[in-house]
Amino acid sequence: MSKTYFTEDHEWIRVEGGIATVGITEYAQEQLGDLVFVELPEKGRALAKGETAVVVESVKAASDVYAPADGEISEVNEALSSDPSLVNTAPMGDGWLWKMRLADEGQLEGLMDEEAYKKSIA
């Protein structure tokens, strides 16, 4: 069964069987506006929690997307290269950014659940 966590920087991380899928929240994409470019990370890259993993560019600004935990990138969402707007239309679905093998699932303990995240942006 998968569980979804949220960060204060508006990333979501959904964990299933040691593999985490990461993206930005609905709130984050609304703040950014229409995305025009997503700079995807390299597969196999090691990430440290809090490190910039992806840069998303919108008509308003460029924003960093941070790794919510330590791990190694196992897959990137190639569809975003040709269609970055997937992040706007389905930020928690087809608009995911990358998948990673977690180095330490214990790092997820400090993250918010959906209810706590919704309170933080209210």
Note the pLDDT of residue 4: 96
> Within the chain, where are the H helices?
26-32, 79-82, 86-89, 114-121
Note the pLDDT of residue 82: 96
**Domain 3-121: CATH class, spelled out:** mainly beta
Confidence of residue 18 (pLDDT cuts 50, 70, 90): confident
Using CB atoms within 10 Å of the CB of residue 61, give its burial: 0 to 12 exposed, 13 to 18 middle, 19+ buried: exposed
Note the pLDDT of residue 114: 96
Please report, for the chain, the start and end positions of each structural domain, with discontinuous segments joined by +.
3-121
CA distance 45 to 55: 15
Q: How many Å separate Cα 75 from the centre of its chain?
A: 13
Helix (H, G, I), strand (E, B) or coil at 110: helix
